[in-house]
Amino acid sequence: MLRTDILVIGSGLAGLRAALAARAADSRLTVHVLSPSAGPSGSSFANRNDCLGMQVPDPDDAGFDAEVLRLAAPGFADQTLVRQLRLEARARLDDLLRLGLDFRRAPDGALEYLPGCFSAAPRAVIFNGLARAHTLFRGAAEAAGVGFLDGLAARELVVADGCVAGARFMDRDGGEVDVSARAVILAAGGPAPLFERSMCGPGNDGLSYGLLERAGARLANAGFVQFFWNDAGSGRFAQPGVILRPGTVLHGPRGGLTLTAGHPALAQAEARARHCPAGYGLPDAILDELLLAHAEEDGGVRLTTAEGGETRLVFCAHAGNGGAVVDVDGMTCVSGLFVCGECATGMHGANRLGGGMVLATQVFGFRAGVAAARLGSGTERPPASAFDLLPPLPPSESSALLERLRRGMQRHCLFGPRPGLRGFIRELEDMARSSLTACSALTLARELLPEARKKAAR
């Protein structure tokens, strides 16, 4: 049994921001970050673009709140959290500048501001070099006295009498490691790896929703995953608003379609070209639905472009917009359990402004760290007996199970419910008895059912 005051699970932008803030708030507290690897991981520090955008609204830019809340439908958003993003964006950008991240600048040296996806307002900055960003973040955390334990994946959050007591981890050899803590900050990333085709960086198995569900935390927006169309061969991003034009031929398994100028979907092409992920509840999703209606069983779409080129597009999970419902300090309904980054929600809903997630990792990572330190300094150490009652962890999940699960997610859970979803959910219910990954997938898949969507909208 290891003991710490503040346990941070995950070492992406959210986890490291939270750990730094917790140590800075109270240097008498021990703060430990546990994650599967010591190197750059997850979507923050190992995504394929090697750069990240971050929204930076001015504190009095109420247009930011209006944009975020408009995009949140048909999901859930909390305007208090959205406001907090706006109020603290500048301070968190200053932190990143002090850390020395490599931001893109105009020729005169000023930061370059660009519009993010779904927005025309140029208020997003971009930094390059994610591995270097990781080195800077981790170096700053080590210098501040944060402890790191690598090679460990959380498999269970330990809760006793409604309070978090720590977490149980699995090491690389399948051994169990228990960590008791006064406060726990979950920052283990989003659900994209649950899909056969995912764009996120390595080191995340998509367990956050399962960990939260089993701990009794309230989740929302779990069914709203962002998907991008990519070329199956090169892996490069493909913009449906540009590719779908008069003369494009879609080769579906049930017959083809040649697009003509009057096709109603094409009226939305210009709007669709303003964002990379497909947009939930937006009229321009008609283009994504048109592609999906011509998908083969594995979700791939064969098409001939207007210029006569043959290509195959695949829909890839990029990032989730769902997660734990948190208050303005990142606290969940489980006392002492804080959640930040891609596994928390409410600061965005079904859709999110491009650059909004990096901002959320910094604002709510910081706030969760400070609040966890405040709580940790005044809380009794949880009794070790909270761990005694736990059954041993099930063994590592078999690659056959994971393959079946990811294939099923790609087939039945793409951008809303697809045929066969109810049957797949029954399969997941079966798997979830022994598999945490299946529990995560089940939490997401259930949110796609029409009855869950209706309930969320009320």
Ligand X SMILES: Cc1cc2nc3c(=O)[nH]c(=O)nc-3n(C[C@H](O)[C@H](O)[C@H](O)COP(=O)(O)OP(=O)(O)OC[C@H]3O[C@@H](n4cnc5c(N)ncnc54)[C@H](O)[C@@H]3O)c2cc1C
The residues of the shown chain that bind ligand X, judged by CB under 6 A, are: 9-15, 34-36, 41-44, 47-49, 52-53, 153-154, 187-190, 199-200, 203-205, 207, 318-319, 341-342, 354-358, 361
Cα separation of 243 and 233, whole Å? 16
Closest CA to 56 of 126, 136, 110, 107: 126
Beta sheet of 310-320, edge-to-edge order? 225-231, 310-320, 301-304, 249-252, 255-258
Of residues 378, 428, 433, the one with CA closest to residue 404: 428
Provide φ and ψ at 107, rounded to 5°: -55, -30
Nearer to ligand X, 180 or 268 (CB): 180
Residue closer to ligand X (CB basis): 265 or 358: 358
Q: C-beta of 168: minimal distance to ligand X in Å?
A: 11
CB of 269 to ligand X, least distance (A): 23
CB-nearer residue toward ligand X: 318 or 453 = 318
Q: Looking at beta carbons only, is 138 or 453 nearer to ligand X?
A: 138
HEC letters along 170-192: EECCCCEEEEEEEEEEECCCCCH
Helix H segments across 73-155? 79-99, 130-143
- Looking at the Cβ atoms of 245 and 274, the one nearer to ligand X is 274
Residue 361 burial (10 A CB sphere; 0-12, 13-18, 19+): buried
Nearer to ligand X, 43 or 84 (CB): 43
- Nearest distance from C-beta of residue 121 to ligand X, angstroms: 15
Q: What's the CA angle centered on 156, arms 150 and 160, to 5 degrees?
A: 125
Q: State which residue, 4 or 268, has the beta carbon closest to ligand X.
A: 4
Cis peptide, bond prior to residue 74, ω within 30 of zero:
yes
Q: Is 277 exposed, middle or buried (0-12, 13-18, 19+ CB in 10 A)?
A: buried
Q: Classify burial at 18, counting beta carbons within 10 Å of its beta carbon; exposed 0-12, middle 13-18, buried 19 or more.
A: buried
Q: Is 139 left (phi over 0), alpha (psi -120 to 50) or beta?
A: alpha
Work out how close the CB of 67 gets to ligand X at its nearest, in angstroms, rounded to a whole number.
14
Coil vs helix vs strand at 303: strand
Q: How far is the CB of 246 from ligand X (least distance, A)?
A: 31
Query: Residue 304: what residue type?
Result: T
Rounded Cα distance between 433 and 416, Å, is 25
- All residues at 6 or more sequence positions from 343 whose CB lies less than 8 Å from its CB, including other chains: 186, 187, 188, 189, 190, 208, 209, 212, 320, 323, 324
Residue 215 Cβ vs ligand X, minimum distance, rounded to whole Å: 13
Pick the closer one to ligand X by CB: 188 or 421: 188
Q: Nearest distance from residue 423's CB to ligand X, in Å?
A: 28
The least CB distance from residue 186 to ligand X, in Å, is 9
Query: Closest CB to ligand X among 15 and 417?
Result: 15
Q: Which is nearer to ligand X, 164 or 303 (CB)?
A: 164
Q: How far is the CB of 247 from ligand X (least distance, A)?
A: 31
Q: What is the dihedral of CA 187, 193, 194, 198, to 10 degrees?
A: 140
Provide, rounded to whole angstroms, the least separation between the CB of residue 51 and ligand X: 7
- Choose between 172 and 454: whose C-beta lies nearer to ligand X: 172
d(CA 227, CA 197): 10
- Smallest gap from residue 295 Cβ to ligand X (A): 22
Report the alpha-carbon angle 149-367-117, nearest 5. 95
